[in-house]
Amino acid sequence: MTDKDERPEWVPENATKGFATKIMKGVDGGHDGFSQSQAKSLPSDTPIKRGLSLDEVVNGILNNERPILARAITLVESNAPKHIEKAQQILNQILPYTGKALRIGITGVPGAGKSTFIEALGSYLCDQGLRVAVLAVDPSSTITGGSVLGDKTRMEKLARKKNAFIRPSPSSGNLGGVNRKTRETMLLCEAAGYDVILIETVGVGQSEIVVRSMVDMFALIVLTGAGDELQGMKKGIMELADIIIINKADGDNETKAIIAQKEYNQILHYLRPATEGWETKAFTCSSYYSKGIDIIWNEMKSFQRNIQASGLLQKRRESQVKDWIYSMIKDQLEQKFFRHPEVKKIMPSIERDVISGKQPVTQAVKLLFERYEGN
Ligand SMILES: Nc1nc2c(ncn2[C@@H]2O[C@H](COP(=O)(O)OP(=O)(O)O)[C@@H](O)[C@H]2O)c(=O)[nH]1
Ligand SMILES: [Mg+2]
């Protein structure tokens, strides 16, 4: 092909080389811009062809075909009514195969090392022949589109293991929506046969409460310098934890971590236990050097055995599902109320009246509900 042939036909006949237009040679590859050789080396989570039947999707999940699992999760994460409907059909079918995994929530301030810990624990478990799914609940990504967890780059080692499945946080919707999406994603992963589900969340706002309400065990990751940190730490979050992990116990930090461990254990003694019949204890580890991970996993296993034997696991899950029903009803009622055309119409004037003291709040709300109920 000559240079002239490559020019579009609208280029003037007498145009010199300076005429700024040229057609570039196409790249060697598919529409996604990857060359064929690269495309072959992509992980198997890349999209697959559309149009699978419900049975094919369900079987694909049960056989842990990762592209199908990933696509089912995308359906669960969608807000489109058509997708929600399809997702519910899938969930309905896989429900009998769920519930066998140990569900662990992991929280802590940004930088505590949650992602690094998950990577270390996840890799350790994969090496033991267990299958691990990692999910995330990140409130910042739902509000600002940013990510506090920022774990995409940090779990590269784990992502390469064939027994690991990593799914970043659903990035749209309110906390209620994220709650549903994460729970349903967890169920899909269980049906696909994952033995351990690790859910990372940041200790900000309500997200740790939401995650606490969907897991069997809750782990709090902290750093040394416990004296200062304990002062600032909300007692509430410590009372949610079934295990406290003092991370970065390496180098100069190791001795400090051991001192912090003693301090935490002393304080835990005076707190209400998160789980009836279970004593929450503090452990040290270095996620970065994968030190102490085996001891922490033993503690987690022992927790699982304990709550299984006492029947608490069953009870906890039953009450979690019940709470889920109520929280979903509340979410939907709230949305319906605020989207109601009559409510939307009179809301601004009601607000003005209340702010300027023309109307008491109780009466204003009563009026809004009358409009909502069509009276
Ligand atoms: N020295 C040391 N650094 C760590 C350890 N765990 C995490 N880090 C570092 O701490 C920083 C924050 O870790 P990250 O896992 O992203 O924290 P997250 O925000 O809680 O998920 C990173 O630079 C990690 O490399 C550890 O055990 N030892
Ligand atoms: Mg993180």
CA distances from 150 to 81, 145, 202 (A): 30, 11, 11
CA of 140 to the centre of ligand 2 (A): 12
Query: Which residues surround the ion ligand 2 when the cut-off is CB under 5 Å?
Result: 114-115, 149, 151
Q: Is there a contact between 182 and 328 (Cβ–Cβ < 8 Å)?
A: no
Q: Tens digit of pLDDT per residue, the chain (375 long)? A: 444 445 554 555 566 655 555 444 444 443 333 344 343 433 444 344 567 899 999 999 999 999 999 999 999 998 888 999 999 999 999 999 999 999 999 998 888 899 999 999 999 999 999 999 999 887 666 555 556 565 555 688 898 999 999 987 766 567 777 888 999 999 999 999 999 999 998 766 678 888 999 999 999 999 886 555 555 566 778 889 999 999 999 999 999 999 999 999 998 988 889 999 999 999 999 999 999 999 999 999 999 999 999 999 999 999 999 999 998 899 889 989 999 999 999 999 999 999 999 999 999 999 999 999 987
pTM equals 0.81
Cβ contacts of 351 within 8 Å, gap of 6 or more: none
Would the CB of 239 count as within 6 Å of ligand 1?
no
CA of 327 to the centre of ligand 2 (A): 27
Beta strands 217-222 and 196-201, pairing class: unpaired
Cβ count near 325 (within 10 Å): 9
List domains and CATH numbers for the chain: 1-42 (no CATH), 43-97 (1.20.5.170), 99-321 (3.40.50.300), 340-372 (no CATH)
Would the CB of 275 count as within 6 Å of ligand 1?
no
CA of 180 to the centre of ligand 2 (A): 21
